[in-house]
């Protein structure tokens, strides 16, 4: 098979992994030698017609796999053609793309061949060759095989910026049914190991006297959960996410709506991917991490353990907590402003700054490009008082639901919220 | 600096016309120096004309401001950061807007810290546009490699909206210090020879190479990483507006990807389940 055909097959097989981030690693640049730089902010070098960011060369080393995960196009019993890159081919492709400014780096994953250790070794070889032989300073994300030996995980973190292990399904029962060879305790154990080493390296960097203490995955670890392949509700998914953030200090949990694949297993729903649900989960995740919400608070905005699909989770929460509003634009503490639907964290900071210089009016918010229609019912300002009864009106929800809002709101959040 | 309690004698500096001729289109240091001189001399914004090499010869013909500088201006750091960005904006009024803000802040100390004030909001919008332009340049600029007698050279053609080439050349030096490259744009070009940066006047698209051998592989990658079951062209266009497409090698395949998407998904959703094949053996090398 020629390189182009391999690339087509092994990129196609990698596209179900939602991760695309290339941010949050240490700063590096090539003025003292080497090729490449990382400056904190990730860069999306292109967008595919699915609206997703293309930041890294995201491919599998091979799509052959001894496991048989039902949701995966590469599972052992699928009829797809198989291919495998050589280390030299992957290195050459990564460098050729990088030099032309197509990508920020490499995201390398793989089906499991022979054994977890063997597979992990192959992934590491690619990263090591890039770093050691070619002085590559761009971003490297390696998928980690949880069952691989601890020494291999340790070496992976030396070369990679980010490591990830996908939990894929939020409950053991689903994992048993759909990915029988995957072992949740092993996944947890490996995440724990990575978390320990990441924290250690971070501490060493903080206290280092000499230059360059040993590095370990400076951009941390992330994971992915598939949404809609099993019957897990949003409570279970968000709960699992919150648990992972807390236990292992993950940088990011990705939610990936189960997408139909060619050669699908009959265990799975032949349905379009639940994009809107995925989007709401990202919004909820954001509220958890940056807006001071708790999981149960967010879920209280919906019904029966599911988020409200029609409106965003902050608005859903506010509509069920109307007694907490309106809040005064000029006297409310930051934490309360963060709970106002339509006010983002950045604008809350700007409002707090502007308050130092005088009263802030609703008209001022328009200049900060705040959606006035959305915030108005929940705010009190010198030039604004919501119509009496509006906040308690059963019609408020309908009024705030943008006409044709489905399409506009279904934009995947991971693009703009790039960690 | 002259305090507002000491107003200018009417009819002196105020009535006279001044003209500041800046040598670069995005030269923050030169603007700041001129602004300090103008402020020290008590010259109000409406008496100043700001000119760059891009402007046609002035009608106004004022004289340059007096050279006495006055003390450094204490301004908030955020304002300086925004001003440095806004100076690169293509808007002809950028220098005047900044000077007017500085002038008014003498009598209204909180002004430069008030993001909701209309002119401050306009300034923030300009800074945002410049930042976005820079970000898109980092993202969408594509090098093509050519052979030269001195070895390979990477050449890119890019069309920024604002005057950002000088400011952003550093990004490409930090990333590609090991290469020799040229970035050609309509207004300004940057060249890196492995040791030093040089700038030259604008170029034409035809001055850049027309193709590169790696582009075919890149298009293959772009087409394969796209998931037709998630087609969302509006989200793509919001982040990668069509105006950039003509200089993006991968954009050529977008129309066919979109056309083919629906059919591919229908096949996936309606497919008969084929009998799974036998488990493959663990593969060797
Ligand atoms: S381990 Fe499972 S999810 Fe990973 S490639 Fe193999 S079949 Fe797919």
pLDDT at res. B272: 53
C-alpha–C-alpha distance, residues A22 and A271, integer Å: 31
pLDDT above 90 (res B262): no
Confidence band for B280, pLDDT divided at 50, 70 and 90: low
pLDDT at res. A404: 40
A346 contact B CB<8A: no
3-state secondary structure of A328: strand
- Give the closest of A43, A263, A354 to B139, CB-based: A43
Q: For chain A, where do the domains classified as CATH 3.20.20.70 start and end?
A: 3-271
Residue A82 CA, chain-centre distance (Å), reads 28
Q: Kindly give the distance from the C-alpha atom of residue A74 to the centroid of ligand 1, in angstroms, as a whole number.
A: 6
Question: Residue ranges per domain, chain B?
Answer: 12-132, 141-207, 215-270
- Alpha-carbon separation of residue B206 from A338, B101, B115, B201, B216 (angstroms): 51, 42, 43, 15, 21
B225/A11 touch (CB, cutoff 8 Å), yes or no: yes
pLDDT at res. A406: 35
Tokens standing for B31?
């603007």
Q: Is the separation of the CB atoms in A13 and A60 below 8 Å?
A: yes
- What is the position in ligand 1's atom list of the atom closest to the CA of A168? 3
Phi, psi (rounded to 5 degrees) for A45? -80, -15
pLDDT at res. B198: 97
pLDDT at res. B200: 96
Confidence band for B98, pLDDT divided at 50, 70 and 90: very high
**Model confidence over B23-42: pLDDT tens digits?**
889 999 999 999 999 999 99
pLDDT above 60 (res B13): no
**Model confidence over B49-85: pLDDT tens digits?**
999 888 876 666 788 888 887 777 789 999 999 999 9
- What is the position in ligand 1's atom list of the atom closest to the CA of A73? 8
pLDDT at res. A265: 81
B114 contact A CB<8A: yes
Tokens standing for B186?
């309509």
Relative to beta strand A53-54, strand A56-60 is unpaired
- Cβ-based burial of B101 (10 A; exposed 0-12, middle 13-18, buried ≥19): buried
pLDDT at res. B59: 62
A62/B283 touch (CB, cutoff 8 Å), yes or no: yes
- Give the closest of A29, A113, A259 to B174, CB-based: A29
B223 contact A CB<8A: yes
Tell the residue number behind the tokens 């900044």, with chain if given: B98
Classify the C-alpha dihedral A98-A102-A107-A111 as positive or negative.
negative
Residue A373 CA, chain-centre distance (Å), reads 30
**B128 contacts: CB under 8 Å, gap ≥ 6:** none
The b-or-e profile of B57-79 (16+ CB within 10 A means b, else e) is eeeeebeebeeeeeeebeeeeeb
Q: Kindly give the distance from the C-alpha atom of residue B103 to the centroid of ligand 1, in angstroms, as a whole number.
A: 64
Q: Which of residues 191-230 of A touch B (CB under 8 A)?
A: none
Residue identifier of the C-alpha nearest atom 1 of ligand 1: A67
B255 contact A CB<8A: no
Task: Kindly report the CATH number that applies to the domain delimited by A3-271.
Answer: 3.20.20.70
Task: Please report residues of A whose CB lies closer than 8 A to that of B227.
Answer: 15-16, 48, 50, 52, 259
pLDDT at res. B15: 64
pLDDT at res. B4: 43
Alpha helices in A14-142 (DSSP H): 87-99, 116-128, 134
Q: Is the separation of the CB atoms in B145 and A100 below 8 Å?
A: yes
- Alpha-carbon separation of residue A307 from B98, B211, B255 (angstroms): 47, 49, 35
pTM over 0.80: yes
pLDDT at res. A117: 96
pLDDT values of chain A reduced to their tens digit, one per residue, 419 residues: 899 999 999 999 999 888 888 888 999 999 999 999 999 888 999 999 999 999 999 999 999 999 999 989 999 999 899 999 999 999 999 999 999 999 999 999 999 999 999 999 999 999 999 999 999 999 999 999 999 999 999 999 999 999 999 999 999 899 899 998 888 888 999 999 999 999 999 988 888 776 667 889 999 999 999 999 999 999 999 999 999 999 999 999 999 999 888 777 888 877 888 889 999 999 999 999 999 999 999 999 999 999 999 999 999 999 999 999 999 999 999 999 999 999 999 999 999 999 998 899 998 998 888 999 899 999 999 998 888 888 888 889 988 885 543 333 333 333 333 32
Tokens standing for B254?
């977008």
Q: Which of residues 135-194 of B touch A (CB under 8 A)?
A: 135, 138-145, 154, 156, 171, 173-179
Q: What are the residues facing B201 on neighbouring strands?
A: B188
B269 contact A CB<8A: yes
Closest chain A residue to the Cα of B117, Cα to Cα: A364
Phi, psi (rounded to 5 degrees) for A295? -55, -50
Q: Kindly give the distance from the C-alpha atom of residue A64 to the centroid of ligand 1, in angstroms, as a whole number.
A: 9
C-alpha–C-alpha distance, residues A276 and A317, integer Å: 18
Q: Kindly give the distance from the C-alpha atom of residue A112 to the centroid of ligand 1, in angstroms, as a whole number.
A: 7
- A114-121, long-range: CB within 8 Å, 24+ apart, which pairs? A114/A66, A114/B282, A114/B283, A114/B284, A115/B282, A116/A145, A116/A146, A116/A147, A116/A148, A117/A148, A117/A149, A117/A152, A119/A61, A119/A145, A119/A148, A120/A144, A120/A145, A120/A148, A120/A149, A120/A152, A120/A153, A120/A156, A121/A152
Q: Is the CB of A342 under 6 A from ligand 1?
A: no
B62/chain A closest Cα distance in angstroms = 35
C-alpha–C-alpha distance, residues B194 and A246, integer Å: 46
Closest chain B residue to the Cα of A264, Cα to Cα: B273
Relative to beta strand A162-164, strand A221-227 is parallel
The b-or-e profile of A40-62 (16+ CB within 10 A means b, else e) is eebbbbbbbbbbbbbbbbbbbbb
Tell the residue number behind the tokens 């009535």, with chain if given: B15
- Cβ-based burial of A350 (10 A; exposed 0-12, middle 13-18, buried ≥19): buried
- Picking from A1, A20, A46, A406 by the largest number of B CB atoms within 10 A of its own CB, the best residue to mutate is A46
3-state secondary structure of A83: coil
- Give the closest of A96, A368, A410 to B116, CB-based: A368
Q: How many helices (H) and strands (E) does chain B have?
A: 8, 7
Q: What are the residues facing A143 on neighbouring strands?
A: A164
B225 contact A CB<8A: yes
Which residue from A112, A120, A226 has its CB within 8 A of the most atoms of ligand 1, so it is best to mutate?
A112
Task: Please report residues of B whose CB lies closer than 8 A to that of A135.
Answer: 178
- Mean pLDDT, chain B, as a whole number? 88
Relative to beta strand A46-47, strand A53-54 is antiparallel
Closest chain B residue to the Cα of A3, Cα to Cα: B217
DSSP state of A356: T
A44 contact B CB<8A: yes
Tokens standing for A372?
């006035």
Residue A192 CA, chain-centre distance (Å), reads 19
Relative to beta strand B151-157, strand B143-148 is antiparallel
**B208 contacts: CB under 8 Å, gap ≥ 6:** B144, B155, B156, B157, B184
Q: Kindly give the distance from the C-alpha atom of residue A263 to the centroid of ligand 1, in angstroms, as a whole number.
A: 14
Using alpha carbons, select from A314, A269, A270, A260 the residue that is nearest to residue A292.
Answer: A314
pLDDT at res. B58: 63
- Picking from A31, A48, A52, A116 by the largest number of B CB atoms within 10 A of its own CB, the best residue to mutate is A48
B60 contact A CB<8A: no
DSSP for A57-76, please give it. Answer: EEEESB---S---TT-TTST
B16/chain A closest Cα distance in angstroms = 34
Tell the residue number behind the tokens 């008590």, with chain if given: B42
Q: Kindly give the distance from the C-alpha atom of residue B107 to the centroid of ligand 1, in angstroms, as a whole number.
A: 67
Q: Is the CB of A65 under 6 A from ligand 1?
A: yes
C-alpha–C-alpha distance, residues B195 and B181, integer Å: 11
DSSP state of A133: I
Residue A358 CA, chain-centre distance (Å), reads 39
DSSP for B73-133, please give it. Answer: P---HHHHHHHHHHTTSS-TTHHHHHHHHHHHHTT-TTGGG-TTSHHHHHHHHHHHHHHHH
pLDDT at res. A405: 37
Cα torsion A129, A132, A135, A141 to 10°: value is 60
B282/A66 touch (CB, cutoff 8 Å), yes or no: yes
Q: Is the separation of the CB atoms in B190 and B165 below 8 Å?
A: yes
């Amino acid at each position: 098979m020629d390189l182009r055909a391999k690339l087509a097959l092994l990129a196609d097989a990698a596209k179900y992994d939602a991760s695309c981030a290339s941010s949050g690693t240490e700063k590096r640049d090539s003025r003292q030698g080497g090729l490449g730089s990382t400056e904190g902010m990730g860069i999306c070098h292109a967008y595919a017609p699915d609206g997703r960011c293309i930041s890294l060369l995201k491919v599998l080393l091979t799509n052959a796999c001894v496991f048989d995960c039902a949701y995966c196009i590469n599972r052992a019993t699928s009829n797809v053609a198989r291919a495998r890159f050589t280390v030299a081919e992957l290195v050459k492709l990564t460098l050729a793309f990088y030099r032309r400014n197509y990508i920020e780096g490499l995201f390398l994953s793989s089906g499991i061949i022979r054994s977890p250790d063997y597979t992990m070794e192959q992934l590491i070889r690619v990263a090591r060759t890039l770093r050691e032989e070619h002085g590559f300073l761009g971003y490297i994300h390696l998928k980690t095989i949880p069952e691989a030996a601890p020494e291999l995980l340790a070496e992976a973190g030396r070369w990679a910026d980010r490591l990830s292990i996908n939990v894929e399904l939020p409950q053991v029962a689903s994992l048993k049914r759909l990915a029988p060879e995957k072992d949740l305790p092993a996944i947890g154990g490996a995440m724990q190991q990575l978390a320990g080493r990441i924290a250690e390296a971070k501490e060493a960097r903080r206290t280092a006297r000499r230059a360059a203490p040993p590095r370990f995955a400076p951009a941390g670890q992330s994971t992915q959960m598939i949404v809609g392949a099993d019957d897990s509700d949003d409570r279970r998914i968000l709960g699992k996410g919150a648990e992972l953030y807390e236990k292992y200090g993950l940088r990011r949990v990705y939610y990936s709506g189960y997408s139909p694949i060619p050669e699908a297993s009959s265990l799975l729903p032949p349905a379009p991917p639940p994009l809107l649900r995925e989007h709401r989960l990202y919004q909820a995740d954001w509220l958890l991490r940056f807006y001071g919400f708790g999981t149960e608070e967010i879920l209280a905005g919906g019904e029966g353990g599911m988020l409200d699909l029609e409106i965003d989770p902050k608005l859903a929460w506010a509509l069920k907590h109307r007694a907490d509003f309106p809040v005064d634009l000029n006297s409310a503490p930051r934490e309360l402003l963060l709970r106002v639907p339509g006010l983002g964290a950045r604008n809350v900071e700007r409002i707090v700054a502007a308050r130092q210089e005088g009263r802030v009016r609703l008209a001022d918010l328009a200049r900060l490009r705040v959606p006035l229609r959305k915030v108005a019912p929940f705010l009190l300002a010198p030039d604004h008082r919501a119509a009496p009864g509006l906040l308690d009106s059963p019609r408020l929800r309908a009024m705030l639901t943008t006409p044709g809002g489905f399409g506009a709101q279904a934009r995947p959040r991971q693009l703009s919220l790039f960690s | 600096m002259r305090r507002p309690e000491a107003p200018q004698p009417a009819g002196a500096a105020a009535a006279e016309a001044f003209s500041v001729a800046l040598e670069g289109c995005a030269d923050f240091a030169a603007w700041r120096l001129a602004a300090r001189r103008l402020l020290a001399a008590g010259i109000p914004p409406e008496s100043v004309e700001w000119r760059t090499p891009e402007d046609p010869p002035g009608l106004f013909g004022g004289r340059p401001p007096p050279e006495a500088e006055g003390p450094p201006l204490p301004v908030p750091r955020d304002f300086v950061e925004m001003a440095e960005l806004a100076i690169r904006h293509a808007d002809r009024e950028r220098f005047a807007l900044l000077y007017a803000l500085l002038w008014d802040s003498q009598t209204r100390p909180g002004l430069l810290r008030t993001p909701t004030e209309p002119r401050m909001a306009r300034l923030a919008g300009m800074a945002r546009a410049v930042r976005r332009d820079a970000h898109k340049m980092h993202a969408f600029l594509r090098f093509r490699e050519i052979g030269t007698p001195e070895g390979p050279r990477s050449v890119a053609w890019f069309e920024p909206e604002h005057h950002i080439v000088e400011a952003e050349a550093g990004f490409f030096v930090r990333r590609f210090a090991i290469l020799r490259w040229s970035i050609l744009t309509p207004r300004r070009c940057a060249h890196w020879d492995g040791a030093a940066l040089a700038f030259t006047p604008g170029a034409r698209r035809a001055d850049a190479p027309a193709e590169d051998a790696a582009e075919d592989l890149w298009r293959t990658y772009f087409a394969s990483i796209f998931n037709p079951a998630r087609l969302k062209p509006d989200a793509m266009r919001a982040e990668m507006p069509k105006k950039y497409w003509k200089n993006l090698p991968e954009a050529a395949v977008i129309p066919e990807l979109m056309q083919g998407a629906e059919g591919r998904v229908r096949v996936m959703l309606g497919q008969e389940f084929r009998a799974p094949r036998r488990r493959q053996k663990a593969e060797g090398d």
